[in-house]
Amino acid sequence: MRDITPLVIGGSTERERVPTVIVPDHADVAHLLADRIVQVIDEHVSATGRCVLGLATGSTPLGIYQELICRYDAGEVDFSNVVTFNLDEYYGMDPESRHSYHRYMQENLFAHVNIPADQVHVPKGTVARENLREYCEGFEAAIRDAGGIDLQLLGLGKTGHIGFNEPGSSKDSVTRLVTLDTVTRKDAAGDFFGEDNVPREAITMGVATILGAREIALIATGEHKSAIVRRAVEGEITPDVAATYLQTHTHARFYLDLAAAAHLTRIATPWVLEPVEWTVPTTDRAVVWLSETTGKAILKLNAKDYTENHLSPLLAQHTSPGVINGAVFNRLRDKIRGRARLPHERRVVVFSPHPDDDVISMGGLLRKLWENKNEITVAYMTSGNIAVFDYDVRRYFDFVDRAGEALGLRREVIDRRRDELEASFASKRPGDIDIPLVQNIKRVIRECEAVSGIATIGMPASAARFLDLPFYRTGEVQKRPIGEEDVTEVRTLLEEIQPELVFIAGDLSDPHGTHRMCKEAIERAMDVQPVIDAERWYYRGAWQEWPLPEADVLVPLSHEELRTKISAIFKHESQKDAAPFPGPVDDREFWQRVEARNQDTATHADRLGLPEYYAMEAYVVKRPNSHDHASQA
């Protein structure tokens, strides 16, 4: 059991309407909740002979379940007297479907611990519609008969839903059939390989059922949850955000990683709540915030702006606002690095979680580094094959079929492979794992696109290395945890190249966590003794950009450079027009998000009074032996 108490992040909770625990990393949340669940099981089994847990599904609780399995294997917890009730299940879902929460719970927890099968309760999605009311009433009765739920785990949906209690859910609602919100279905589209395949209904515990638990633990991780976290924690109670009902519970608590807590007042703008230590990073954040709040360029901020916006203590430490303004302005300006100020003739490894993240995230800088005669290796960490549509396989195989004679391919081999492909597609349901032949063709499609992408910015095919890490090779959306085999493969590459700069995806908003897992593999590989003592440059993916105060390097791009970057993204044809995993809410293609994000970064810098550029990329840098904020990127 790991003591993470020293890692809990403090600060004034004045605006928080529900107790909130914030820790640096998503793994810390898993450790903390696993500790609490083990404690609750021990307490309630000792007191009453049983413990009743309410369980959640989705990507967020996976780390908790993995921790519980480890503790069970270590003999630290016994599940024989535990009774469980799951929050929800899609309606019409076969329990054996890979999308079923029955199967999810079996694969991720129940099959690995000693909980008796008759003590497990997951709503049945196959109940006849005419029997639903009776079934839901029976589910509620089973909870009451068990003595009520001792600890209820919750995730947090993009709309603020808990369970499947969508906007408009009543505080008095109980277990029932619900219609899923459009945002919820888009959020789940990746798991089902398309929004059209996502069920439109689900059975869910109601808000009143959830609030009936003796203790509630809501977990949220990742930047993409930060806006709804703030609304749930600091906003008024409203049926539009079901999670706000938790504010009325005497023993509800939110458990957040720092990324999910980023918009809470005590993290985003702590100076409006209490005195803070005016370090350089805090000063820069505060002055940029003040500039944004007042709509003034940094060098135009005056004493009145500071005093009317909670920054009198900062002003009191300096002789005039001009001194603060100038110092912050100069620090921000010095972050801007054109090609002449970027690395020259150094060994560089760019790690790309998927075969397109390199050009999506850092296509502009990548081109400049190549022009500066750096020795660059782009290491594509996963095949990305699950993100290729079946029709792309048919299209490329049709090319092979038509070109077979010119290429000297044997007709009987082509025909046999075509029959194998078509037979697999004919029997395949949405989300089914592809046969090995299809998986390999999809892998090759993405590899060819990756090579074409870097060629667009002038780099040779020899710069590409395809690692195809084992954790990704499940053939489905859910991946295995990062293991020693993954770390060893990354370490082997690093030892071969001995890079001076390493680029890492620091994006914590990747919908299915591949970026986060790749980051873990790289950092574990670099931190093995002897340490790979290279600069670590962290970039963001397709979802967000580093805020200007947090970035260490801002790379300006001209109109022509941004066009070239977008052309490189276009080479990833399987991801264009309708990518299988675009992320929730944002319907724009990846190139459109990149164009807007890079231009918005430059526009933001311009509003602060910095030199005006067409577009910008941003990076956080952790230098060898340093322990700055990038270590938590």
Give catalytic residue positions: 166
Separation between Cα atoms, residue 66 and residue 27, nearest integer Å: 11
Per DSSP, the chain holds a count of helices (H) and strands (E) of 20, 17
Q: What are 565's two structure tokens?
A: 């970057």
Q: What are 282's two structure tokens?
A: 């805090």
Q: Which secondary-structure segment (H or E) carries 348?
A: strand 347-352
Burial class of residue 253, CB neighbours in 10 A (0-12, 13-18, 19+): middle
List, in sequence order, every residue forming a beta bridge with 621; answer none if it has no partner.
537
Separation between Cα atoms, residue 580 and residue 574, nearest integer Å: 9
Distance of CA 498 to the CA centre of its chain: 29
Separation between Cα atoms, residue 159 and residue 103, nearest integer Å: 25
Among 629, 478, 618, 459, CA closest to 540: 618
Separation between Cα atoms, residue 329 and residue 547, nearest integer Å: 15
**What values do phi and psi take at 348, rounded to 5?**
-130, 135
Sign, Cα dihedral of 461, 467, 472, 474: positive
- The conformational region for residue 373 under phi > 0 = left, psi -120 to 50 = alpha, else beta, is left
> What is the 3-state secondary structure of 383-447?
CCHHHCCHHHHHHHHHHHHHHHHHHCCCHHHHHHHHHHHHHHHHHCCCCCCCCHHHHHHHHHHHH
Residue whose tokens read 């003796």: 214
Burial class of residue 4, CB neighbours in 10 A (0-12, 13-18, 19+): middle
Separation between Cα atoms, residue 186 and residue 184, nearest integer Å: 5
How many C-alpha atoms does 206 have within 13 Å on its Cβ side?
17
